[in-house]
Amino acid sequence: MSLTCDVAIVGGGLAGASLAVALAPLGYDIKVIEAVAYKASEQPSYDDRTLALSHSSCRILSGIGLWEKLEADATAIRKIYITELARPGRVVLDSVEMGLAAFGHVVEARRFGAAVTQLLQETVNIGLISPASVSDITIGDTKTVLSLESSRGTDELEARLVVAADGANSFIRRHLQIPTHSRDYGQTAVICNITPEKPHKGQAFECLTNTGPFAVLPHTGNRCGLVWSVASEKAAEILDLDDATFLSCVEKRFGNQLGAFTKAGKRTAYPLKLVRAKEDIRERLVLLGNAAHAIHPIGAQGFNLALRDAAVLAEVLADDDQHDPGESGLLHTYSQWRQQDQRGTIATSDGMTRLFSHPSLLAAGLRTTGLIAHALLPSLRRRSAIKAMGYRGRVPRLALGEPLA
State the residues that interact with ligand FAD by CB under 6 A.
Answer: 10-16, 33-36, 44-45, 49, 51-52, 133-134, 165-167, 171, 189, 191, 227, 270, 289-290, 297, 300-304, 306
Q: Smallest Cα–Cα separation from 218: which of 208, 205, 235?
A: 205
> Which helix or strand (DSSP H or E) is residue 147 part of?
strand 144-150
Residue 65 Rama label (left phi>0; alpha psi -120 to 50; beta): left
Q: Smallest Cα–Cα separation from 217: which of 90, 58, 78?
A: 78
Minimum separation from the CB atom of position 382 to ligand FAD (A): 21
Minimum separation from the CB atom of position 129 to ligand FAD (A): 9
Q: Which is nearer to ligand FAD, 230 or 317 (CB)?
A: 230
Minimum separation from the CB atom of position 51 to ligand FAD (A): 4
- Answer for the pair 354, 274: CB distance below 8 angstroms, yes or no: no
Q: Which is nearer to ligand FAD, 87 or 183 (CB)?
A: 183
Minimum separation from the CB atom of position 394 to ligand FAD (A): 20
Spatial separation of the C-alpha atoms in residues 225 and 266, rounded to whole Å: 11
How big is the chain, counted in residues? 405
Q: Which is nearer to ligand FAD, 91 or 191 (CB)?
A: 191
Q: Which is nearer to ligand FAD, 169 or 245 (CB)?
A: 169
Q: Which is nearer to ligand FAD, 58 or 317 (CB)?
A: 58
Specify the amino acid at residue 264.
A
Minimum separation from the CB atom of position 4 to ligand FAD (A): 18
Spatial separation of the C-alpha atoms in residues 286 and 332, rounded to whole Å: 10
- The HSE-up count of residue 331 (CA atoms within 13 Å, CB side) is 19
Q: Which is nearer to ligand FAD, 87 or 273 (CB)?
A: 273
Minimum separation from the CB atom of position 52 to ligand FAD (A): 4
